[in-house]
Structure 1
C-alpha cells in the first residue's frame, strides 16, 4: 500500500506510525514544510512556501498563510504525481493548510485527518480563564477562532475519517463530523519508559538529587497560562512552606505555544515568578528549561509529586510519560484529565484555579508514603493498559490505516456543511 503522511513538522504525531508502516512493507512518502527528522525508509519531501502573507488584516493573515502553504504543497504533490506516486491513503494533520488541495491531485485516495483540537469561542479553552479575557475584544476573539477552525472544517466534506488521541479532543469537533472520528492515542513506550530505582540528576557543581530526595516536578513545553503555570507558581510558596525539604524542578521554555502573548519584551515565566519570588527560597526552585529527552525522563523518574495543569485543551504526552514512570500525579480537574485520572485511585484532581487546594493536596501526597505508592502503582498500570505503544496504540493505528484504505467512496453525508 502507498501511504502519504502530511505534517508541517514531520513526523509529529506520526513518529511511531511512519516506521511501523515501513516495517510491514508499505511505501511511505512524507510531505512537510519544516526541516524533517530522518526516518529510515520514508521518502520525505519539503514543500517550502516561496511567498509570505501580504494581508494587512490580522484575522486574514493566519488564513492566508495557510492558503500559501496549501498552494506550495499542491505544487509538490503535482511533482510527486508526475513521478508516478499514487497514494492509497493520505494521513494528514490539517491544521496548517498543507492538505487543502491534495484531493484535487489524488481524487481516488482515501483521506484521514488527525483531529488534534477544534477551537470554539465558548465552552472550551478560549473562555476558560477569566484572567485573560478582560483585555481580549470578544468580537475579535470570535472572528479569530472562527477563522482558526475554518481550515479543518474545509476538510470535513472530503475526509473519509478522523483520528483523535483522546475522547475529549474528539468531543471538541462539530457533531456532523464527530461520528467519523476514531479515538486512538499516539502511544507511550511503557517498556522503555518505566519506573527506575537508580534515577539521578547531577548539577554542574557536582551535587546530585535522587529518589531519596523530595522532588516536585512541573512540565510544559512553554511556561504559560494554558498549562496552568500561573496557578502553579501562585501555589508554590504555600506548598514549599508545608514541605520544607522539598525541591521543585520546573521544565519548559520561555516562549508561547498557545493563547495570549505576554506584554512585549517579557515572558510568562518571569511575569509570574516575579509575583511570588519574595516568598520563595530560590535555592529550592530550579528552572530547568528545555531538557533532552533522556534527562527529562530521568528527572520525572525521581519525582515524588508530578503536578500537571491544563485548560480544556490538548492532553500533554508528558502526563502519560510521568504516569508510565510511576510518578504520583496531582492534576487539574479539567475535562482532558477525566478520561485519564480517576481521583484517589491513579492520581488526585483539584479545581484548576484553587491554589490553596493545589498546595494542600500536593503536601498530602508528599506526606503519605502509602498514598504515593498506591497512586504510583495505579498510574503505571493505567499507562500500560490504555496507552502502551506496542501492545495497544500502534496496532490500532495500523488497523485504522487499513480501514481507511478499504473505505468505500466518501458518502455525501457532509455536503450540507460546505
Structure 2
C-alpha cells in the first residue's frame, strides 16, 4: 500500500506512524514544506510557498493556506500520474489538504485535526483583561477557512484529545475520532538510578529537590511568567531547591513583548532568580527524559490550547506534575489522584502545590504511579499506532 502524508513541518506528529508503516514494508511518501532528516524508506517531496499578496490582515493566514494548498496539489497531481497513493493522511490546519480531493478524487483522505480556532472560550480570550477587538475575532475566524473546506472533503478524521476535538463545529465533530500520537512508555519510564548532568557539571539524581519546567519556547501561552513567579516564592522557603527551565527564547505561540525584552530576561529581572535557576534553551529528547526522571515536581501550565507531548512524557516518567487547572490538562490530570492542579494565573497557589511535592515526596509515590498508569493505559504509543494503522488499512482497502 502507498500512503501519502502531508505536513508542513517534516513528519511532525506522524513520525512514529511513518516509522511503523516503513517497517511493515509499505511505500510511504511525505509532502512537506520543511523536510525531515532522512529516514530510510521515506520519500520526501518538498514544496515552497510564495510571499502573501493580500493586504487585508484577516486574510494573511488564508492566503498562506491557499498557496500551500496549490503547491501540495501540484505535487499530488504529479504523483498520481506516476505512483498514485492509496491513502492520504494530512494535517488539516495549514492548507495542505485544501485541494487534495480535487487532485486525488478517488483516494481516501484522513485528516489530523489538531486545533480549531475560536474567538471565545479558548486561547484567544483566556484571561483577557480587555475585550477582544472585532478585527481580531474576524482574523481568528478566517484562520479556519481552509481547514473547514478541507474537512468537508475528508473520509475520516481524528484529533489527539477530547478537548481538541470539542473545539470543532458540531457538524464535523461527530466525524472526528480521538486518538493521541502516542507516548513511548518503554523509554519514558521512572529510573531510580537515573541522573541528569547540568551544564555546570552538577549531577542531579532522583530524590533531589528538583523543580522542572519545559516548553518549546518560554512564552505566556505555556505559563512561563507564572512559573517564574511561583518559583521565586518557593525559592524563599526552600533554599536547597533547584529550578530548571528548558525552552528557547522564541515567541512560541504568543507574541513578542512590547518592550522588546525576551520573556526570560524580563522574568529574571522581576524575580531575581538568576542565581537559583538554570535555563537550558534546548535538550536532546533522551536528555529531556533524563531530566523528567530526576524531577521532584514538574510544572506544566498552558492556556486552553494544544496539549504538549512533554506533559504526557513527564507523567510516563513518573513525575509529580503540577499542572494548570485548564483544558485540556484536566482531561489527563485529576487533582490529588495522578498529579496536582493549580489555577493558571495564581502563582501563590501554584507555589503551594510545588511545595507539597517537595515536602511530602514519599507521600506522592501513589500519584506518581497513577500518572504513569494513566499514560500506559490511555496514551501508549503502540496502542495508538495500531489504531491508526487500522484506519489506514480500512480506508485503503
Structure 2 residue aligned with 1:57: 56
Deviations 1:271-310 (A, max 9, x none): 2332222xx3x33211111111121111111000001111
Task: Say which of 275, 283, 289 aligns to 1:291.
Answer: 283
Task: Please give the TM-score of this superposition, normalised by the length of structure 2.
Answer: 0.96
Task: Say which of 180, 197, 218 aligns to 2:175.
Answer: 180
Matches within 5 A, 1:279-358: 280=273, 282-358=274-350
Deviation at 1:54, TM superposition (A): 2.4
Deviation at 1:67, TM superposition (A): 1.3
Unaligned runs of 5+ in 1: 407-418
Task: Say which of 161, 176, 184 aligns to 1:166.
Answer: 161
Divergent runs of 4+, >4 A: none
Structure 2 residue aligned with 1:412: none
> Which region of structure 1 is more displaced relative to structure 2, 197-206 or 107-116?
197-206
Question: What is the distance in 2 between the residues matched to 1:241 and 1:227?
Answer: 24
Give the 3-state SS of the residue equivalent to 2:89 in structure 1.
strand
Give the 3-state SS of the residue equivalent to 2:140 in structure 1.
helix
Structure 1 residue aligned with 2:123: 125
> Which region of structure 1 is more displaced relative to structure 2, 240-249 or 396-405?
396-405
Structure 2 residue aligned with 1:71: 70
Deviations 1:20-39 (A, max 9, x none): 12222322111111122222
Alignment of 1:111 onto 2:121: no
Question: What is the distance in 2 between the residues matched to 1:151 and 1:260?
Answer: 23
Alpha-carbon spacing, 1:23–1:47, altered in 2? closer, same or farther (3 Å): same
8 A contact 2:212–2:244 mirrored in 1:
yes
Question: What is the distance in 1 between the residues matched to 2:337 and 2:323?
Answer: 13
Deviation at 1:158, TM superposition (A): 0.3
Question: What is the distance in 2 between the residues matched to 1:270 and 1:404?
Answer: 51
Alignment of 1:396 onto 2:387: yes
Question: What is the distance in 2 between the residues matched to 1:166 and 1:400?
Answer: 17
Unaligned runs of 5+ in 2: none
Task: Please give the TM-score of this superposition, normalised by the length of structure 1.
Answer: 0.91
Alignment of 1:247 onto 2:245: no
Deviations 1:102-154 (A, max 9, x none): 211110111111110100000111100225x56xx511211110111112111
8 A contact 1:11–1:37 mirrored in 2:
no
8 A contact 1:329–1:375 mirrored in 2:
no
Question: What is the distance in 2 between the residues matched to 1:245 and 1:338?
Answer: 31
Structure 2 residue aligned with 1:8: 8
Deviations 1:219-274 (A, max 9, x none): 11111111111211122211122322101100101112213332263222222332
> Which region of structure 1 is more displaced relative to structure 2, 304-313 or 72-81?
72-81
Deviation at 1:204, TM superposition (A): 4.5
Matches within 5 A, 1:19-168: 19-49=19-49, 51-83=50-82, 85-131=83-129, 133=130, 138-168=133-163
Give the 3-state SS of the residue equivalent to 1:155 in structure 2.
helix
Question: What is the distance in 2 between the residues matched to 1:403 and 1:351?
Answer: 43
Structure 1 residue aligned with 2:253: 258
Alpha-carbon spacing, 1:356–1:206, altered in 2? closer, same or farther (3 Å): closer
Give the 3-state SS of the residue equivalent to 1:300 in structure 2.
helix
Deviation at 1:11, TM superposition (A): 0.6
Deviation at 1:349, TM superposition (A): 0.8
8 A contact 1:304–1:372 mirrored in 2:
no
8 A contact 1:366–1:372 mirrored in 2:
no
CA RMSD of aligned residues (A): 1.6
Question: What is the distance in 2 between the residues matched to 1:240 and 1:301?
Answer: 21
Give the 3-state SS of the residue equivalent to 1:221 in structure 2.
strand
Question: What is the distance in 2 between the residues matched to 1:289 and 1:205?
Answer: 14
Task: Say which of 209, 213, 219 aligns to 2:204.
Answer: 209
How many residues align structurally?
397
> Which region of structure 1 is more displaced relative to structure 2, 5-14 or 96-105?
96-105
Deviation at 1:351, TM superposition (A): 1.4
Question: What is the distance in 2 between the residues matched to 1:352 and 1:244?
Answer: 25
